[in-house]
Structure 1
Amino acid sequence: MGQAIQGRRVVGLISGTSVDGVDAALVEITGTTDDLQITLLNGATYPYPEALRSQILAVCAGEPLSMAELAVLDDAIAAVFAEAAMQVQVGYPPADLIGSHGQTVYHRPPQPAHLKGKATPNRVSELGYSMQLGRGALIAYLTGITTVSNFRAADIAAAGQGAPMVPPVDAYLLRHDTLDRCVQNIGGIGNVTYLPAKAKSALLRGWDTGPGNSLLDLAVQRLSNGKFTFDRDGAWAAQGTPCQTLVQQWLQQDFFHQPPPKSTGRELFGVAYLEQCCQDAAPYQLSAADLLATLTELTAASIADSYQRFLPHLPDQVLLCGGGSRNAYLKQRLQANLESTQVGTTDDFGLSADFKEAIAFAVLAYWRYWDIPGNLPEVTGARRSVLLGEIHLGDQNTA
């Protein structure tokens, strides 16, 4: 779509599995891959209206919708995303491009026949399926800005997981010359990017590690009778003592033993999973704080366990991002599970921990605009590199 690749202002948008609201990042991007440069101009989180958030969570939990209701929900989410895109630009020149991940409401990884390595799926069900609401066409229409959306579809069509999407961006922004790093996002679901030192020839890797904040947030809402939606700083959990016997029992779940590539969501680590955890915990007569501490330990221990199982060795550094990076107790427990590894946040290395995922989708949109493939087959399991995202032209497009 052009020749020179420099100086584009792009808005990245995402709402994760915690369904807290829309994270919006306005960034200035130059370069392409090895020379990629990012400047965060503005970032903010725009909460969903409570009624809309409740509806999204209900749909994620399996509540049925008619097609008419699905269309209304799709448009309502797109309207919130469009408003977030406009608000984050206030005080700045208009953006050239928007990259919107949308709101995931359903994710089904590829079925076992594909994971066992069949050369050509002979049934549609062997491909994965993922649905993100908040259609890009409406965002482009409401903002007048060209919008890239539906990023997962092309990777899934190439027999990939469609997730995680951010490892290639992490690779260009956070890889170190001599240190091995893991960039660990802790949203509703946790996902990791393994970045071996540039001096090594080892492959990058990435996968979903399991629950991040999903079970914690659901438990807080349950234990507080809806008064609170999350455990700020992990303060409630920090008052309890984790039941390590339960944690070890939960770590026997099949997902934790499945080798990458792999992805997951609330379909597994959601309401039903929490209910089972509560049933498992009943004989131990845990206090509310003990239960939260134990669920927090599950998140920390599952991350550490996945590193030990699937990496050649533990990393020198772990860089946290996402909402869980602000949970001081969770960070403390992760450090305890990774004694020899330095645990910090991406903030410590110049990349916003709060808005890294939104920044990543700004970059993915930028790459799509310039016809640069955005997936990593070694991470998602796709058969080839592909362009990610569908382009919807805006009336005021200046890119």
Structure 2
Amino acid sequence: MNQQLNKLTELSVAPARVIVGLMSGTSLDGLDVALCRFLGAGTETKIELLNFKTISYTAEFKEELKSVSFKSSVDLQKVTLLNAYIGSYHASLILQCLSEWEFPAANVDLIASHGQTIFHAPASLHRLPEYPNATLQIGDGDHIAVKTGIITLSDFRQKHIAAGGEGAPLAVYGDFLMFCSPVENRILLNIGGIANFTFLPAGHKAELVFSTDVGPGNTLMDQFVQLHYPGKHYDENAAIANTGKVNDDLLNALLNDDFFALGFPKTTGPELFSLSYLDAARERSATTGLHNEDVLATLCEFTAVTISDAIKRSMNGLDAFEIYMSGGGMHNPLLVHKLSKLLGKELKDTNALAINPDAKEAVLFAVLANECVSGGQLSFGSRPGLPTVLMGKISLPA
């Protein structure tokens, strides 16, 4: 038997696995690297986060990513080159982290790489009836495997789409395995570039779990700051938005989109919620002359309203649940205050559940890799948007 295939077979039945999880989100700001130890799989999964680091991208590299991301027309040569470059670059960052942590690469069993999303195209967005849901992440897994010498799982979202889903959100699978409680109804709210949440009813009832994107998280606020405040990548501590006032006319125009009337689950991305979306809303509401701080205050309100409305609609009157946050949006005090007020609840973060909230998304993909290699016993039923599948393409280092 091929030595690497034999290693996979041994890993599938081993009592423990060490997995590096990688996440680079739609904010295009850096790579999250989580070193995890797993015991078991499925509902018996036990996770220890051994180390975690976020490595910020340079301003030049961010611009390279922006040039091919979330646009219907881009330079195909650059996409092709970045696919290989990002794979090799992420591999070097993994090796850098392992060296800093004094953890030998030979002791890592698997790498789980999300890749870099450059276009997400669910049918609800592209509206071309002859085409299916689709998504594209670059950062080739073979390059990671060969450069690190570690078996790599990547391109997780394609299987989800092939099985009838939209490729997002995938958080539901990891949230279920990491955070289900026998006694507490929980909402795991992730506010990244796009906001999504998973509802975990008390008890390990996979067939009742619910997950959906809800709309913009930080993406519109971040894009606006980057355009109008050179050198800033986001509104740190909501310092700018706190000096502005919400404009109801602009808010109502932002909320006036067919996406928000769609049923759950659904998915979206910066392809819809872009500066063009904001500009169109400002034109419709005659607010093109609005001060920047008022625009940011309104965008923050927009994110808060869409998240709270989606949670209220989904819960259908149920009030007995706790909310645990992750993602960059949890560091925005104005947004968190607005959400808490709209939902009438204290918002916690996943530190309360023993997982660093900044590491959660990277850990999620490590969970998906662990399930792909050693799990496969779960069933989420046959509901639309939540197929029961094992995800991740396997790249061997030799």
- TM-score normalised by L of structure 1: 0.89
Which stretch of the first structure deviates more once superposed, 33-42 or 64-73? 64-73
Deviation at 1:18, TM superposition (A): 0.5
State the number of aligned residues: 384
User: Hey, what does 1:216 align to over in structure 2?
Assistant: 221
- CA shift digits 1:311-336 (9 cap, x unpaired): 23345211110111111111111111
| 2: CA distance, partners of 1:377 / 1:155 | 14
User: Hey, what does 1:117 align to over in structure 2?
Assistant: none
Structure 2 CA distance for partners of 1:113 and 1:76, relative to 1, 3 Å: closer
User: Hey, what does 1:98 align to over in structure 2?
Assistant: 111
Counterparts of 1:92-241 in structure 2 under 5 Å? 92-94=103-105, 95-110=108-123, 125=131, 127-198=132-203, 203-224=208-229, 226-241=230-245
Conserved 8 A contact 1:31-1:37 = yes
Does 2:252 match 1:243? no
User: Hey, what does 1:14 align to over in structure 2?
Assistant: 23
| 2: CA distance, partners of 1:222 / 1:12 | 31
- CA shift digits 1:90-127 (9 cap, x unpaired): 2123211000010000111135999xxxxxxxx751x2
| 1: CA distance, partners of 2:286 / 2:378 | 46
Code of the residue aligned with 1:97 in structure 2: it is: L
Deviation at 1:344, TM superposition (A): 1.2
| 2: CA distance, partners of 1:258 / 1:298 | 17
Counterparts of 1:304-323 in structure 2 under 5 Å? 304-312=308-316, 313-314=318-319, 316-323=321-328
Structure 2 CA distance for partners of 1:27 and 1:113, relative to 1, 3 Å: closer
| 1: CA distance, partners of 2:116 / 2:126 | 28
Which stretch of the first structure deviates more once superposed, 81-90 or 98-107? 81-90
Which stretch of the first structure deviates more once superposed, 267-276 or 136-145? 267-276
Structure 2 CA distance for partners of 1:216 and 1:54, relative to 1, 3 Å: same
| 2: CA distance, partners of 1:18 / 1:379 | 30
User: Hey, what does 1:118 align to over in structure 2?
Assistant: none
| 2: CA distance, partners of 1:234 / 1:113 | 33
Code of the residue aligned with 2:296 in structure 1: it is: L
User: Hey, what does 2:365 align to over in structure 1?
Assistant: 361
| 2: CA distance, partners of 1:375 / 1:246 | 43
Deviation at 1:69, TM superposition (A): 2.4
User: Hey, what does 2:280 align to over in structure 1?
Assistant: 276
| 2: CA distance, partners of 1:227 / 1:379 | 45
Conserved 8 A contact 2:159-2:391 = yes
User: Hey, what does 1:254 align to over in structure 2?
Assistant: 258
SS at match of 1:88: helix
| 2: CA distance, partners of 1:113 / 1:19 | 23
User: Hey, what does 1:303 align to over in structure 2?
Assistant: 307
- CA shift digits 1:43-74 (9 cap, x unpaired): 11112232221121122242744443222111
| 1: CA distance, partners of 2:225 / 2:285 | 15
User: Hey, what does 2:294 align to over in structure 1?
Assistant: 290
Query: Which residues of structure 1 form unaligned runs of 5+?
Result: 115-122
| 2: CA distance, partners of 1:393 / 1:307 | 41
Deviation at 1:178, TM superposition (A): 2.5
| 2: CA distance, partners of 1:366 / 1:228 | 37
SS at match of 1:100: strand
Structure 2 CA distance for partners of 1:296 and 1:153, relative to 1, 3 Å: same
User: Hey, what does 2:33 align to over in structure 1?
Assistant: 24
User: Hey, what does 1:84 align to over in structure 2?
Assistant: 93
SS at match of 2:242: helix
Structure 2 CA distance for partners of 1:87 and 1:96, relative to 1, 3 Å: same
Match of 1:381 among 385, 393, 396: 385
Deviation at 1:379, TM superposition (A): 7.0
| 2: CA distance, partners of 1:77 / 1:314 | 44
Counterparts of 1:380-399 in structure 2 under 5 Å? 381=385, 384-395=387-398
- TM-score normalised by L of structure 2: 0.89
- CA shift digits 1:278-316 (9 cap, x unpaired): 435653853322211110111111000111222233452
Give the fraction of aligned pairs with identical amino acids, expressed as a percent.
34
Which stretch of the first structure deviates more once superposed, 287-296 or 195-204? 195-204
Structure 2 CA distance for partners of 1:57 and 1:32, relative to 1, 3 Å: same
SS at match of 1:283: coil
Conserved 8 A contact 1:205-1:379 = no
